[in-house]
Amino acid sequence: MLHIFYDSLMFGRLKSFLLILGDLGILFLSLWLTVLIFREGRIDTEFYIRHLYPFGIVFSFWILTYFIEGLYSLRTFSPEGLSVSLIRTQLFNSVITFVYFYLFPYEGISPKTNVFILALLSAVLIFLFRKLFFALFSYKGLKLKTLIIGNENLAKDVEASLKQKPYLGFDLVSTASTTDIHIDDQIDLVAVDRNQYSDQEFLKRLIDGLNRGMNIVELTKFSELITGKIPVSALNESWFVENCGVQPDQGYKLAKGAMDKLAALIVLLIALPIYIVLIPLLLIFSGRPLFYSQIRTGYRNKPFRIYKLRTMTVNAEKDGAQWATPKDSRVTPIGKFLRKSRLDELPQLWNILNGTMSIVGPRPERPEMIKDKLEKNIPFYNFRHLVKPGVTGWAQVNFRYGFSEEDSIEKMQYDLYYVKNKSIWMDIKIVLKTIKTVVTGMGH
C-alpha cells in the first residue's frame, strides 16, 4: 500500500495539490472567523454565505499569488523563508482585495479593517499548516528508503538536495559507485546509473527487487525530478537522441508562436506609458545612444540581432567581449535600476514579434563567448539551441544571473531540462515565476 501511495506522491504533484486544497480550506475558514469577529461572536450563516461568492473570486487571485511566490513548488521552496513569503503575499493580497471591492462593490460587504483581519488570520493558519505538513512528510517512517548506485558526483548532488529538502519523501540509506552492494528487502527505491545495467548479476538482483515491490528509476531521471535540472556530467549522445531527438509537434509550435505574439503585443501596450517616462530620464542621466544591439546565437545555431536598453557606458567592451560581474563598474547608475527591474529587456519585444526570440527559452549567448569558452568546456552546449531563445526561462527563475563559466554550466543544466520538458503549461509557470523575480529583484 505504501508503494501505491508513493507512486503518485513521489515527486510532489499530489503534495502540491494537497497544499492548494489546504490553503483554500484555510482561506474560507479564516473568512468565517473574520465574519464571526465582525458579528461579535454571533453565528450568522446567511451573512457568511453572502460573502462566499465575491471572496471565492478574490481567493482565486490569492492562490495565484501563493503560486507565484513559490509556495507550491517543493523543489525550490524554502521553509526558512516562509514568514517573509507570507508577509509579502498577504500585503499584496490585501491590495488585490481592496481594488476588487472598489471596482465591484457588493451590498453589505465593506472590507476596510476586515481584510487585514482576514489576511492576518489566514497567514497564521497557513504558516502552522505548512509547518505541520512538512513535519509530517519529513517523518522518517513515511519516506521511501532509497539507494543510489552509479555516478559518484551525481549521487553527491542528489544527496545534498535530499538533505536540504527532507519533505520530498526520500530516506537516503546509502550511495555506491559500483554494483557490488547488497540490496535488502527494506529498500523501497533504487536510483541506478544506466551504465550499470551491463552487469548481468546486478540486473538479476534488480529484477528480484521488482518482484518484491521495489521501485527502480534511472539515476539521471531521478536527479532531474529532484533538482529540476539535467546533470551535464551524466549526459552522452544517446541521452540526446532518446530525449531530444523528436521535433515538437506542429500544434505546440503554433500555440507557442501565437502566445508569444499576443503576449508581446499586450506587454508593448502596457509598456508604452513606461517608455514615455523612461526615455527622457535615460536621455538626461545616461545620454545617447538609448538602445544597443548585439549579435547572439539563436534557434538552430543561427545568429540574430538582439535589442536592449543600454545599461553600460558607451565603450564598455572596447577590450573585447566579457561577462558582467556582480558590481560591474561599467554599469551606469540608471543601468543598475534597469537591470534589476528588467526594463532593459523591453526592446526584445521586437525580437519576439519578428520571430527570432520567444517569451520563454534559454537566454541567448554571444557567438564569440560560445566559440572561445562555452563550447570548448561544456559538453553538448549547442543542444540548448534546439529551441528559440527567450526573454525569460527556466534557468532565470531557478538560478541567479550568470557571471562566469561555472554559472553557465549550472544554467545549461536548467536549459536542458527546459529543452526536454518544454510545454505550454511549463511556459505559463515560468512566466508567473518571472513576476516574482522582477518584483523582488532576484536573479541579478
Please report the pLDDT score of residue 161 as a whole number: 86
Q: Are 183 and 170 in contact (CB under 8 A)?
A: no
Q: How far is it, in rounded angstroms, from Cα 187 to Cα 146? A: 6
The C-alpha cell that represents 45 in the structure block: 450563516
Is 241 contained in some domain?
no
pLDDT digits over 74-123, tens only? 877 777 889 999 999 999 999 999 999 888 887 766 667 788 899 999 99
Please report the pLDDT score of residue 427 as a whole number: 94
Is 105 contained in some domain?
yes
Which segments in the chain show pLDDT lower than 50? 1-9
Do 44 and 193 fall into the same domain?
Answer: no
Please report the pLDDT score of residue 11 as a whole number: 54
Q: Are 13 and 75 in contact (CB under 8 A)?
A: no
Which DSSP state fits 193?
Answer: -
Do 64 and 184 fall into the same domain?
Answer: no
Q: Whole-model pTM above 0.95?
A: no
Of the three residues 76, 102, 137, the one that is the final residue of a domain is: 137
pLDDT digits over 367-377, tens only? 988 888 888 88
Do 278 and 425 fall into the same domain?
Answer: yes
Q: How many domains does the chain have?
A: 3
Do 146 and 132 fall into the same domain?
Answer: no
Do 349 and 373 fall into the same domain?
Answer: yes
Domain that holds residue 207: 140-227
Q: Give exposure, 117-137, as e/b (b: 16+ Cβ within 10 Å).
A: bbbebbbebbeebbeebbeeb
Of the three residues 77, 108, 137, the one that is the final residue of a domain is: 137
Do 77 and 199 fall into the same domain?
Answer: no
Q: Are 60 and 25 in contact (CB under 8 A)?
A: no
Helix axes 152-164, 219-227, angle to 10 degrees: 30
Q: Are 223 and 231 in contact (CB under 8 A)?
A: yes
Q: How far is it, in rounded angstroms, from Cα 99 to Cα 95? A: 6
Is 63 contained in some domain?
yes
Is 269 contained in some domain?
yes
Is 108 contained in some domain?
yes
Is 412 contained in some domain?
yes
Do 204 and 350 fall into the same domain?
Answer: no
Do 258 and 194 fall into the same domain?
Answer: no
Helix (H) or strand (E) holding 39: none
Q: Give exposure, 185-221, as e/b (b: 16+ Cβ within 10 Å).
A: eebbbbbbbbebeeeeebeebbeebeeeebbebbbbe
Helices (H), 165-212: 200-211
Of the three residues 227, 262, 295, the one that is the final residue of a domain is: 227
Single-letter residue type at 4: I
Is 233 contained in some domain?
no
Do 179 and 52 fall into the same domain?
Answer: no
